[in-house]
Structure 1
Amino acid sequence: MSEFIVCYDISDPKRLGRLHRFLKKCAVPLQYSVFLFSGDDRQLDRLLEKATGYIDPKADDLRAYPLPTRGFKARLGKPALPEGIQWSGLPTAW
């Protein structure tokens, strides 16, 4: 299983909201327009294929970047989850 950063820049508020709600069902929000997706390449392709229905390719930007399996991963600043809460997986929709 691989991890990917999925991020977007959407120009229309309605499309932005729809894409955000869609991605929350299958990936973990790290910031408002940045998500962590865990899955294989086939699952990522399927996610991106479905996500293209929520964007306007001429005005919006949707990207996915693979994270290295081994390597430095760090967070600075406010944590996404409250202290003492451990994240152990993604939503079960995928």
Structure 2
Amino acid sequence: MKKSIPDDPKGLIFEAYQIGGITKSECRTIFLDWALSLGADRETPTALRALLAMYGGDPAHPMSEVLTEGLHSIATPRRRGGWRSRKRD
């Protein structure tokens, strides 16, 4: 049974936790689909924290690992700019 909540509109994360023997690679694919389906009105870090609180009771579950990695990678700023940010003479 699919469980749909605002932070998991398609129930993808819920379903991932129901699949026995799911791999981390499969969880990453599900995560990408989830990220693309998250509504524009939802903050990704807030949604990830809520999903981890709701489903992440087992930190060794591959989906818990992927959600945690996603949360940490979002919180880590990346260099922006490149050639466009350089001043032109």
Q: With structure 1 as the length reference, what TM-score do the two structures score?
A: 0.29
Higher helix share: 2
Q: With structure 2 as the length reference, what TM-score do the two structures score?
A: 0.30
Higher radius of gyration, 1 or 2: 2
1 or 2 for the larger relative contact order (CA 8 Å, sep ≥6)?
Answer: 1
Higher strand share: 1
